[in-house]
Amino acid sequence: MSEYLRNQGRLAQDKEKAAKLELRIEGFRDSIRGNLDPFEPVENLKLDLVAEEAFEIRALQIELIEVNAEIKAINKALGRN
């Protein structure tokens, strides 16, 4: 298999992974927003859940940043912007 085809395959895998990460991040974002209802009394807020989800969403964001950097590097190696 040529290097070009190998890079193309890796690029496709990374793009798929990035899309899945984005979807998971969006889900956590929506959940966090839903659990921080401004009209809910503060004593009823599920802050333990919000904190747990915030920690998870940050880890996913870091992973997404890394995957996007790899996509950028592969595109550069393939002669794309």
Structure tokens at 80: 């794309």
Write out the chain's pLDDT in tens, 81 residues. Answer: 798 899 999 999 999 999 999 999 999 999 999 999 999 999 999 999 999 999 999 999 999 999 999 999 999 999 887
Looking at residue 76, its pLDDT comes to: 95
Compute the distance between CA of residue 4 and CA of residue 10 in angstroms, rounded to an integer: 10
Rounded to 10 degrees, the C-alpha dihedral 10/12/13/16 comes to: 160
pTM of the model: 0.89
Residue the block writes with tokens 């009209």: 39
Looking at residue 14, its pLDDT comes to: 98
Q: CA torsion sign, 43 to 44 to 47 to 50?
A: negative
Looking at residue 80, its pLDDT comes to: 87
